[in-house]
Amino acid sequence: MHKPTNTTTLPSYDTAVVTCASIQAGDAENVVIDDARLAIDVRTTNPTTRAKTLASIKRIVAAEALAGNAVKDPTFQTTRAFPLTVNDHALTEKLEESFGSHFPKGKDGYVADVSQLAGSEDFSILASAVDRPYSFFVYGGTAPEKWDKAEAEGRLMEDLPVNHSGLFAPVIHPTLQTGLDGYVVAALTWLAK
Amino acid sequence: MPNISDIATKHRPDLSKYEDLYKHFHANPELSNQEKETSARCVSELKSISSDFEIKTGVGGYGVAAILRNGSGKTVLLRADFDALPIEERTGLPYASKKRMTDADGVDKPVMHACGHDMHISCMLGAAEALYAARESWSGTLIFAFQPAEERGTGAQAMIDDGLYDPKRHNVPIPDIVLGAHVMPHRAGVIGTRRGLIMSAADSMRVTLHGRGGHASMPHRLVDPVIMAASTVMRLQTIVSREVDP
């Protein structure tokens, strides 16, 4: 049984983002409303900071409610929670070997230190729930000619639709083969005879 | 030393079949926890590949787990998520979605596979066909997990809570290794791994501050929640600016 090797590569600095994405209260100018509602989003990269940040939010909200003479304690409702995704080192090292042997190496093929993703995933729960190691990989879907044009114009950040955009449309080829081969090679890494 | 690359290349299936399947999924997206047809299609595709897959359905909602036992060895779980989003598709593609569904709050919404989950399941189904075809070249157990409701952050936990690995429930073997993947806006052809941290944690919440409303001319009779909220919004920024290690 392979237990996770929990040597996490966390940066020596820390990072957290707290966003109040929505504040809603009141309507007419001469009517003070009963309740004000906030929608808050938090991104963190280590479990300690995550816990501390969430605790700080609770503390600050409670303190502001107290300072404002609130008629009752504030109400909190968690709407989404995604864990950290920290790829197991030993597992990923083996994928480096098998992916490197199958996919062309280099910035347009297999990349062993792909950049951290902006979003979050609940995938790791399928592993951490049973204390098993995991690794999550990514593959590109932007049409090469679109990418090359945006790169040449210095507009990679502006011109390429990202996930959750109404314009997001992976090019079917070679994406399909890359993703398919990715799953196959990944599985064979531990199962091939 | 097995040549993994040769095995993968030799047994790669006919991609035109998976291209058609991808277009079908893309044109027929379903919202989180409503992935009924998507789930059913994954099951029928697996059955058409082989009757050797032990298929568990209804896991954590519409989740599917298919087990392929192939002798002794490690157990590897591969995962692909399959829910879509309440987003209007503007790609203009011939296989673009024109679908609408009622969301969990009863609101009618346009639906789109705006996160590439349709690509994930198409790739993983193709991989299932390849790995089945290649079964003389490997041994162990494969689990293909088709996961619902990733966008809500609840689907994986729902599969666990519904007894994915519980011998008395869905009885899927506990894997030794768990692998997943995501299509991203990198250049097509790029495939990347990363040791350690690859994605941050995300937490969202809704907070209600409770005041006492009434006539704006009588603040002494009221408790103004707008002031509380405004002060809270500003003060919350001090967590990152003054409490987190820069």
User: Residue A14: what pLDDT?
Assistant: 83
Mean pLDDT of chain B: 97
Q: Is B245 found in the same domain as B143?
A: no
Per the CB < 8 A criterion, the answer to whether B67 and B142 are in contact is yes
Residues in a beta bridge with B187 = A142
User: Residue B47: what pLDDT?
Assistant: 98
User: β-pairing, B177-187 with B75-81?
Assistant: parallel
Q: Is B98 found in the same domain as B170?
A: yes
Structure tokens at B90: 């503007």
User: Residue A99: what pLDDT?
Assistant: 98
User: Residue B222: what pLDDT?
Assistant: 97
Give the residue on B whose Cα is nearest the Cα of A5.
B196
Q: Is B40 found in the same domain as B161?
A: yes
Give the residue on B whose Cα is nearest the Cα of A193.
B138
The last residue of one of the domains, among B146, B180, B214, is B180
E strand or H helix at B220: none
Q: Is B224 found in the same domain as B109?
A: no
State the Cα–Cα distance between residues B192 and B181, nearest whole angstrom.
10
Q: Is B145 found in the same domain as B29?
A: yes
Asked if A134 and B5 come within 8 Å (Cβ–Cβ), the reply is: no
Which 8-state DSSP code applies to residue B232? H
Q: Is B232 found in the same domain as B173?
A: no
Q: How many CB pairs under 8 A join A and B?
A: 542
Q: Is B240 found in the same domain as B167?
A: no
User: Residue A10: what pLDDT?
Assistant: 52
pLDDT tens digits, B197-241? 999 999 999 999 999 999 999 999 999 999 999 999 999 999 999
Q: Is the pLDDT of residue A7 over 60?
A: no
- Judge whether B67 lies within some domain: yes
Q: Is A66 on the interface with B (CB under 8 A)?
A: no
pLDDT tens digits, A25-64? 999 999 999 999 999 999 999 899 999 999 999 999 999 9
State the Cα–Cα distance between residues A155 and B213, nearest whole angstrom.
50
Q: Is the pLDDT of residue A180 over 60?
A: yes
State the Cα–Cα distance between residues A48 and A94, nearest whole angstrom.
29
E strand or H helix at A122: none
State the Cα–Cα distance between residues B203 and A83, nearest whole angstrom.
8
Give the residue on A whose Cα is nearest the Cα of B217.
A30
* Neighbouring residues of A132: CB distance < 8 A, sequence distance ≥ 6: A2, A3, A4, B174, B175, B176, B177, B178
State the Cα–Cα distance between residues A109 and A84, nearest whole angstrom.
26
Q: Is the pLDDT of residue A5 over 80?
A: no
Indicate the domain borders of chain A: 89-191
Q: Which residues of chain B make contact with A53, given a CB cutoff of 8 A? A: 239-240, 243-244
Structure tokens at A193: 């005879």
Q: Which residues of chain B make contact with A166, given a CB cutoff of 8 A? A: 87-91, 112, 114
Asked if B201 and A82 come within 8 Å (Cβ–Cβ), the reply is: yes
| Average pLDDT value for residue range B97-125 | 97
Asked if B91 and A170 come within 8 Å (Cβ–Cβ), the reply is: no
Which 8-state DSSP code applies to residue B116? S
State the Cα–Cα distance between residues B155 and B152, nearest whole angstrom.
7
Q: Is B162 found in the same domain as B124?
A: yes
Q: Is the pLDDT of residue A125 over 80?
A: yes
Per the CB < 8 A criterion, the answer to whether B59 and B65 are in contact is yes
Which among B116, B119, B210 is the nearest to A71, CB-wise? B210
User: Residue A118: what pLDDT?
Assistant: 82
- Judge whether B187 lies within some domain: no
Which residues form the domain of B113?
Answer: 4-180
Residue predicted with more confidence, B114 or A3: B114
Query: SS3 sequence, B148-178?
Result: CCCCCCCHHHHHHHCCCCCCCCCCCCCCCEE
- Judge whether B185 lies within some domain: no
Q: Which residues of chain A make contact with B138, given a CB cutoff of 8 A? A: 187-188, 191-193
Q: Which CATH number is B18's domain given?
A: 3.40.630.10
E-only strand ranges, chain B = 54-59, 63-70, 75-81, 100-102, 108-110, 140-147, 177-187, 191-192, 196-199, 201-210, 214-215
- Judge whether B194 lies within some domain: no
pLDDT tens digits, B115-171? 999 999 999 999 999 999 999 999 999 999 999 999 999 999 999 999 999 999 999
Per the CB < 8 A criterion, the answer to whether B130 and B11 are in contact is yes
Question: Is the alpha carbon torsion for A105, B5, A191, A138 positive or negative?
Answer: positive
User: Residue A3: what pLDDT?
Assistant: 59
Structural domain count of chain B = 2
Q: Is B86 found in the same domain as B23?
A: yes
- Judge whether B186 lies within some domain: no
pTM of the model: 0.90
pLDDT tens digits, B78-88? 999 999 999 99
Q: Is B210 found in the same domain as B89?
A: no
| 3-class DSSP assignment, residue A148 | helix
* ipTM value: 0.93
Q: Which residues of chain B make contact with A145, given a CB cutoff of 8 A? A: none
CA neighbours closer than 13 Å in the CB half-sphere of residue B132: 22
